[in-house]
Amino acid sequence: EDSPLVRAIQDAVRVVTATEPAYFVAWAGATDGRFYRQAGIDTVGYGPGGENAHGANEAVYIDDLMTQARVYLQTIGGLLGLNAPATAAESLRP
């Protein structure tokens, strides 16, 4: 949580969703994130919810996907110092 990346995503989740970020340290899938962490590069796993991951009829929730895009946009703007709170995410509102 001391990482600028982690703080930026936490802030973005708060701005976009008006909720506190939910934390967990493991899931059933896999990423290359551990290799980046071993190299000293901060990593975060964040994405949409869905059903039947890596199985038949795998699906993600479109609303979650749009929220994820808003959080990513807000995170990038925050890291680059380009957006005031809530402005970047507003551009993706339906």
Extents of the domains making up the chain: 4-90
* Model pLDDT, residue 53: 78
Of 7, 15, 9, residue with least CA distance to 93: 15
Provide block-wise average pLDDT over 10 residues at a time, the chain (94 residues).
88 92 73 89 86 87 93 92 63 56
* Model pLDDT, residue 33: 85
Residues in a beta bridge with 83: none
CA distance 92 to 94: 6
* Model pLDDT, residue 77: 92
* Model pLDDT, residue 31: 82
Residues in a beta bridge with 16: none
Phi (first) and psi of residue 20, to 5 degrees = -80, 140
Q: How far out from the chain centre does Cα 70 lie?
A: 9
Looking at the domain that runs over 4-90, which CATH code has it been given? 1.10.150.900
- Residue 64 contacts residue 49 (beta carbons within 8 Å): yes
